[in-house]
Structure 1
Amino acid sequence: MWFKNLVFYRFTQPFTTDAEALHEQLFGSRFTPCSSQEQTRYGWVPPMGKLGDQLVHASNGHLLLCAKKEEKILPGSVIKEMLAERVEAIETEQSRKVRKKERDELKDTLMMELLPKAFSRHQLTFAYIAPEAGLLVVDASSAKRADELTAFLRKTLGSLPITLPALKQAPAATMTHWVSEQSPLPGGFELGEEAELKDPGENGGVIRCKQQHLLCDEISTHLAAGKQVVKVALDWKETLSFVLGEDLIVRRVKFSDVVQEKAAEMGEADAAAAFDADFTLMTLELGRFLPELLEALGGEDDGAYAPAIAV
């Protein structure tokens, strides 16, 4: 149970629901498979999988959730080919042109015929709530996937007063200062060997580098030409490594062997204990890391948070 990506939100009101009450609220929106005529389904499943039946796993004040999405796979090329065949047959047999409205109706009918035979793709998205820290953290590498979970959680609960962290300055500006050495990296953070630089102008060029020492003349030349750092690899206190983006998404999170070995020692009893140990230690480390990351980026603009957002 180790998150690989972090999209995190700030609660604008205290989250006071306990694990038992939250389970009851999620139960009404638990996952059920697609019916024969459905293309997609979304719902809550036990985060421990076969190890438990609760829709919320609570540990050390943190609440773990898991959403499951099922999508029927209907290749566009197959639908296009079969639609073309049906249109051609009608035009040949009836000596007339198939218009757009009829073509769209034929496509809908074709999809309904194919859905029961389609393969399904399943996707799990984990998230945890840290009530004391006032954070919701989603394991997702894109804003779209994270927003899908938060939108469904809002629908399930009726209200979810969260917002993305508001920073005093843009992350790209701060990361550019780090790599250009205009500002020192805060204590505990070290540059990795990967970055993405982008010209802020319209249709601006993009430079991506890996296994590259970033404090070098080559990178400095691009920065002097006006490019900004929009992604950069960082290490934090020999505990985890990650790639930070200008969108404030923390991608490719990797916890150190020391942290994972400690979790293994805590969860030696059985699989359930191992799951709980992983989650407990991960949230403890992220509970230290995320505030330090926000502070390293210049701190949050507390005045930007609306005090009574409840949607």
Structure 2
Amino acid sequence: MFKSVVVYRFCKPLELGAREIAQNLKAKCFTPPAPTEAGRCGFVPPAEQIDSELLSELNPLRFLRQVDGRWVVALRQAVRKVKPAELQKAIQKRAEEIGKREARPVLRREREQIKQEVLIDLLPHAFPEEKTALAYITPRTGLLIVEASGHNGAELFLSALREATQNLPVAMPQMSRNTAQEMMSWLKNGIPAGFRLGLHAEFRSEHDGSCRVTLNNEDPTDDNAQGYREGGYEVAVLALETDDGAAGIDFRLTDELLIKQIKPQYKSDDIYGIEEDEANGLSGAFDAELVLFAGILDGVWQGLVEAFGGYYEEQEPATWKPKEADLLLVGDSVEEPAEDPLYEDAAELVKSCDSISMSFMQRKLRIGYNRAALLVVELERRGVVSPPDESGQRSTALLVRAEEMIDAAI
């Protein structure tokens, strides 16, 4: 789902609610670039394949999808790319024509002008390449997760989202300890609990940042890497794995806290026994996969924050509780799916528990993770269980006691 992510923390809660943001997202929905435009970007409904021509006619609530307490948005970017060889050939041809006609050489500055003119001529014939990136806001943790391989891609998404939210008070998180130095200490003293070391590392000279050494498919703690660990280098990138068995991810962590080249350790259809009808269509499969991935990433991020000594000067993310009206966004954002035949069994099951989790539901009902995730989301939507707290647990005790009091009164 997410190959690389950039994590931001909220400095203060969002002022707009989910419904207001959804309206603004629709107002800035994606439209294909004009023939003379190099590119264009805009928002589209997450988890839905819809023609660009129809986006402006959709219900605004479909542009912001609420899944397990997270607000999911999707940004589509279309870029017209002229092949470099084709561009250079056209520039050379036009320069030769000018030189022959005016009997003079064409110098560098004029060639740059020719390049712009040629691009204008070639762009209408270049087919726009489209790609869609996801991001999600988690009010209960105060984090914004953006799908991007670097700061430039993430900033493009932030810029568009900032317009839709009217104010996006986020910042890159800073840790108490120097990340590069701390990762070097992991190689010398051991990897933090909850993680395993992968077979990739990149070292950067402390004196010359452009001097880098890459170890691929090698253990960065063995004797071959000793010179880099002790010879004036610091860690720029380190491959890590979550130590959670099947339900985890492999990734590369940079000293800028970018989480890149994410590879799941799980396969939903193999590990969790997913049946084809459990996904409940494209949107249902999307919701379940997001619940699984985001839950794992929450644990990874919390583990990294602890490993780096916490946030710098207690710059904890600002959390908030969404408006009550926004909690209805799940049902409004898409057409209601058919009720799962196991829903009543799930509702009865939670009455005997103080709290539940996805794995609990999966184990008790003998179903796959995707189906369990969808059932829990539906239980929350109907008010049977509470939204997840900071640890991801959902309380049922108060709801069950209230039901018992009503039954006693009757």
The answer as to whether partners of 2:161 and 2:168 remain within 8 angstroms in 1 is yes
* Counterpart for residue 24 of structure 1: 23
User: Which segments of 5 or more consecutive residues in structure 1 lack a partner in the other structure?
Assistant: none
Q: Determine helix, strand or coil for the equivalent of 2:63.
A: coil
Q: For 1:191-270, list aligned pairs within 5 A.
A: 191-202=197-208, 205-238=211-244, 239-257=248-266, 261-262=271-272, 264=274, 267-270=278-281
Q: 1:273 aligns with which of 277, 284, 293?
A: 284
The answer as to whether partners of 1:19 and 1:57 remain within 8 angstroms in 2 is no
CA distance in 1, matches of 2:136, 2:273: 18
Structure holding more strand per residue: 1
Q: For 1:139-178, list aligned pairs within 5 A.
A: 139-178=147-186
TM-score by length of 1: 0.87
Moved more, 253-262 or 28-37: 253-262
Moved more, 193-202 or 39-48: 193-202
Q: 1:63 aligns with which of 32, 46, 71?
A: 71
Q: Determine helix, strand or coil for the equivalent of 2:240.
A: strand
The aligned amino acid for 1:39 is: A
CA distance in 2, matches of 1:22, 1:280: 22
Find out whether 1:90 has 2:89 as its counterpart.
no
* Counterpart for residue 4 of structure 2: 5
Q: CA deviation at 1:210?
A: 2.5
The answer as to whether partners of 2:149 and 2:260 remain within 8 angstroms in 1 is yes
Q: Determine helix, strand or coil for the equivalent of 1:66.
A: strand
The answer as to whether partners of 2:237 and 2:253 remain within 8 angstroms in 1 is yes
Q: CA deviation at 1:142?
A: 1.3
Superposition RMSD on alpha carbons, in Å?
A: 2.7
Q: Determine helix, strand or coil for the equivalent of 1:10.
A: strand
- Relative contact order (C-alpha < 8 Å, sep 6+): which is higher? 1
Q: Determine helix, strand or coil for the equivalent of 2:149.
A: coil
Q: 1:117 aligns with which of 102, 121, 125?
A: 125
Cα distance, 1:280–1:77 mapped onto 2, change above 3 Å: same
Cα distance, 1:35–1:293 mapped onto 2, change above 3 Å: same
Moved more, 15-24 or 161-170: 15-24
The answer as to whether partners of 2:142 and 2:317 remain within 8 angstroms in 1 is no
Q: Determine helix, strand or coil for the equivalent of 2:289.
A: helix
Q: CA deviation at 1:247?
A: 1.2
Q: CA deviation at 1:13?
A: 0.6
The answer as to whether partners of 1:128 and 1:138 remain within 8 angstroms in 2 is yes
CA distance in 2, matches of 1:247, 1:39: 30
Q: CA deviation at 1:146?
A: 0.9
The answer as to whether partners of 2:21 and 2:164 remain within 8 angstroms in 1 is no
User: Which segments of 5 or more consecutive residues in structure 2 lack a partner in the other structure?
Assistant: 319-410
Q: Determine helix, strand or coil for the equivalent of 2:74.
A: strand
The answer as to whether partners of 1:62 and 1:283 remain within 8 angstroms in 2 is no
Q: 1:298 aligns with which of 289, 309, 313?
A: 309
Cα distance, 1:72–1:281 mapped onto 2, change above 3 Å: same
Moved more, 294-303 or 163-172: 294-303
The aligned amino acid for 1:198 is: R
- Count of aligned pairs between the two proteins: 304
Find out whether 1:180 has 2:188 as its counterpart.
yes
Moved more, 203-212 or 157-166: 203-212
The aligned amino acid for 1:41 is: R
Structure holding more helix per residue: 2
CA distance in 2, matches of 1:282, 1:19: 22
The aligned amino acid for 1:278 is: E
Moved more, 89-98 or 34-43: 89-98
Q: Determine helix, strand or coil for the equivalent of 1:128.
A: strand
CA distance in 1, matches of 2:38, 2:273: 39
Cα distance, 1:271–1:84 mapped onto 2, change above 3 Å: closer
Q: For 1:42-53, list aligned pairs within 5 A.
A: 42-50=41-49
Q: CA deviation at 1:254?
A: 2.1
The answer as to whether partners of 2:35 and 2:124 remain within 8 angstroms in 1 is yes
Q: CA deviation at 1:98?
A: 5.5
CA distance in 2, matches of 1:217, 1:83: 53
Indicate the percent of aligned positions where both proteins have the same amino acid: 26
